[in-house]
Amino acid sequence: MALPVKPSPWSSKSIQGVLLDISGVLYNNTEDDVGVAIDGSVEAVERLRKSGLPVRFCTNETQCTREQLVRKLSRLGFTLGVSEVFPPAPAVCQILKERNLRPFTVIHPSCDPEFADIDQNDPNCVVLGDAAKYFTFEKVNKAFQTLMSLEKPVLISMGQGKYYKEAGGLKLDVGAYMKALEYACDVKAEIVGKPSPSFFNAVLKDMGVDASNAVMIGDDIVNDVGGAQACGMKGIQVRTGKFRPSDENHPTVKPDSYVDNLAAGVDLLLQNR
Amino acid sequence: MQTLRRFPLKSLDGVFVCCFRKMTTVPKVEAVLIDLSGTLHIEDTAIPNAVDALKRLKSSGVKVRYVTNTTKEPKRLLHNRLTQLGFAIQLEEIFTSLTAARNLVEARKIRPLCFLEDEAKEDFEGIGVEDPNAVVVGLAPSYFNYEPLNKAFNLLIEGASLIAIHKARYYKKKDGLALGPGGFVEALEYASGVKAEVVGKPEKTFFLEALRDLKCSPQNAVMIGDDVRDDVGGAQAAGLHGILVKTGKYREGDEEKISPAPLATCFDFPAATELLINKYL
C-alpha cells in the first residue's frame, strides 16, 4: 500500500516575495575580488524574475558600495538594480543622521564612499564593517580607545557574522571584532543589517509584502535563515557559501527547507507556478 | 551586610584614606600576592614610594610572591626591569601566567601556534610549534592583525584547542589604555565555537598555584592589585582576600563592580602595605 505523500510546504501559492542573500548564494568572492558565480545562480535569478515574484537582495556586504557590488555581479552575468540591493551601510547612515552620531569607522576602504556625507570629526560612536585585512590592531585599538573615552559609548556593527566563505577558505567576519570590542569595553553593540528585524522589515516594506508571505534564501543559518524566521518569514538554507555540514543539525535553527544551491531553491518555489 | 568605613592612616606622604568592608573576623595574613604592572610600576616608572613600601612589607616577615599576567616579556627581562627600578625582588619570587601556560602545554604535549611577542617566546623555548594543534594567546599586539587571527581561527575549526594565557580586557600604558588579549580571545571563541581554557588571573588555579610552594592556605593570603575583576575578584573567588589599589588601570567606581566588595580599596600600594602592617599582620 502506498504511503500518503506529505504536501510540500511550498506547494501553496502563499509566497509573494523573495529575499536573496548575495555572498554564498549568488556568488563566492575570490582574493582578486573578481568573484565566481555559483553554478546555476545566474539562471535561477532570471527564472525568479520571469515568474513575476518580487525579488530583493538582502546582504550584509560592507566591503564595497552598492554600485560596486552591482557592477561586480553584472560582470558575472547577474542583472541587479541598485535599488533592489539592501546592504547595511545606507541604513547606518540614516541612523547616524537621526541620532546626531559622528562615527569612528573600522570598515573596508571601499565602503568609505557610503559614509561620504557623514561628519566623522570628533567621533562619538564607533561603526564596524567587514574590514578584512584592514582590521589591524592599531585600528581596532583606536576604536576601543574611542569607546572608552565616551560617557555613553555607542557601538554599531553592520551585521554580526562569525565568518564567510572566500575562495581560499573561511574568513573572520565583522561579528568576531564586534565581540572583541563588546568584551573589552563592556558594551552591547547595536546590529544594523541581518538578522536585525528592523532591517528585514524595511526590505519587506519596500516590496509591499507581508512577512508571512515572504521567504529568505541564505547560506548563513543564524543570520539569514534564523533571522528571517524570527520575523515571521520562511527560511531556506543553501549548502553553498559558508554552509558547513554541522548546519544540517543546528541546535537552534530549523530551516523550512535545505537545498543544495539557489537553483534548487528556486525549483522548489516555482514547482507549482 | 557590608558596611564601608573610612579609616584614616598616615603614610610616608601624609594622611590618606583606605575604605574597607567591615569583617566579622580579622584575617591573619601570612602571605601576600602582589600584582606588578599597574600596582608596583607602570612601564618604566615605579609607583611613588612603592620601593620603600615593599621593603617595609618584606621586613615584617610576611611571605611574598609577585603574580602577573604580563606576557609581553620573559620572566628574566621582567625581573631586570623591576630590579633597575630599585625593587628587591628575586627571580624565583615571580610567578607569571606565561609560566603557568607553558606548564599546561608541556603536560598536555600539544603543539601551539603562539600569539606572543618575540621577546616573550624565550619563556616558551623548547616547545615544539611545527604542525600546530593548539592556539595559545598572550598579549601580542604585533600579531593581533587579520591574517594571524584568521590562521588561528582556521586551526580552531579544524579541531585545535584554544588556551588563553589570560583574558585581560585592557591595560594601562603611559599614553592611555590599550587592548589586552581578552577581546581577541572572545573573537576567536565566537567565530570558531571553541571555548578557551584560561590559565592566568582571574582563574582560581592560578592563585592556588602561586600559593602552593608558600604552604599558605588561601584564607591567610591577600592579593593586592589594580584590576578589580582579574586581581581582586579572582583572588576572592579562590578564597584569598583582596585589596584594590587606585593606580594603573583602576577607574572610579571599580570597587562597586564585584561582590563581595574588596577587603579594602587603597590609594596605592604604599597605602595598602601600611594597612596590612597596621591591621592584618
Which residues on B lie below 8 Å from A186 (Cβ)?
169
Given CB atoms, is A94 within the 8 Å cutoff of chain B? no
Q: What is the pTM of this model?
A: 0.82
pLDDT digits (tens, 9 = 90+) for B112-124: 999 999 999 999 9
N- to C-terminal Cα separation, chain B: 25
pLDDT of residue B1: 39
pLDDT digits (tens, 9 = 90+) for B204-213: 989 998 898 8
Cα separation, A138 vs A104, in Å, equals: 13
User: CA separation (Å) from B218 to A26, B26, B166, B204, B223?
Assistant: 60, 14, 21, 11, 10
- Say yes or no for a CB contact (<8 Å) between B170 and A162: no
Nearest to B191 among A141, A148, A172 (CB): A172
pLDDT digits (tens, 9 = 90+) for B146-184: 999 999 999 999 999 999 999 999 988 888 999 999 999
pLDDT of residue B14: 41
Which residues on A lie below 8 Å from B180 (Cβ)?
184
What's phi and psi for A272, nearest 5 deg?
Answer: -115, 15
pLDDT of residue B224: 98
Instruction: Tell me the CB-side half-sphere exposure of residue A190, using CA atoms within 13 A.
Output: 15
- Say yes or no for a CB contact (<8 Å) between A144 and B176: no
- Domains of chain A, with CATH numbers? 14-87+198-233+243-270 (3.40.50.1000), 90-191 (3.40.50.1000)
Cα separation, A66 vs A72, in Å, equals: 10
Among B8-12, B112-116, B193-197, whose mean pLDDT is lowest?
B8-12
- Say yes or no for a CB contact (<8 Å) between B183 and A180: yes
pLDDT digits (tens, 9 = 90+) for A154-200: 999 999 999 998 877 899 999 999 999 999 999 999 999 999 999 99
Query: In 3D, which of B256, B279, B273 has the Cα closest to residue B40?
Result: B273
Given CB atoms, is A179 within the 8 Å cutoff of chain B? yes
User: Which helix (H) or strand (E) element contains residue B32?
Assistant: strand B31-35
pLDDT digits (tens, 9 = 90+) for B85-106: 999 999 999 999 998 899 889 9
- Whether residue B16 has pLDDT greater than 60: no
Q: Which of B139, B149, B179 is the best residue to mutate to test the A interface, defined by the most A CB atoms within 10 Å of its own CB?
A: B179
Query: In 3D, which of A201, A156, A205 has the Cα closest to residue A178?
Result: A156
What is the pLDDT confidence band of residue B23, given thresholds at 50, 70 and 90? low
Cβ neighbours of B6 (radius 10 Å): 8
- Say yes or no for a CB contact (<8 Å) between A176 and B182: no
- Whether residue B8 has pLDDT greater than 50: no
* Cis upstream peptide for B260 (omega within 30°): yes
Q: Which of A63, A108, A141 is the best residue to mutate to test the B interface, defined by the most B CB atoms within 10 Å of its own CB?
A: A141
Q: Counting one residue from A and one from B, how many pairs have CB atoms under 8 Å apart?
A: 82
Given CB atoms, is A134 within the 8 Å cutoff of chain B? yes
Nearest to B186 among A134, A135, A179 (CB): A179
- Say yes or no for a CB contact (<8 Å) between B190 and A144: no
Nearest C-alpha in B relative to A139: B145
- Domains of chain B, with CATH numbers? 4-69+201-280 (3.40.50.1000), 98-198 (3.40.50.1000)
What is the pLDDT confidence band of residue B72, given thresholds at 50, 70 and 90? confident
Are the C-beta atoms of residues A257 and A229 closer than 8 Å to each other?
Answer: no
- Whether residue B9 has pLDDT greater than 50: no
Residues linked to residue B268 through DSSP beta bridges, in sequence order: none
- CA torsion sign, B206 to B211 to B217 to B223? negative
Are the C-beta atoms of residues B231 and B210 closer than 8 Å to each other?
Answer: no
What is the pLDDT confidence band of residue B271, given thresholds at 50, 70 and 90? very high
Cα separation, B91 vs B82, in Å, equals: 10
- DSSP label at B62? -
Low-confidence ranges of chain A (pLDDT < 50): none
Apex CA A161: angle with CA A155 and CA A165, to 5°? 140
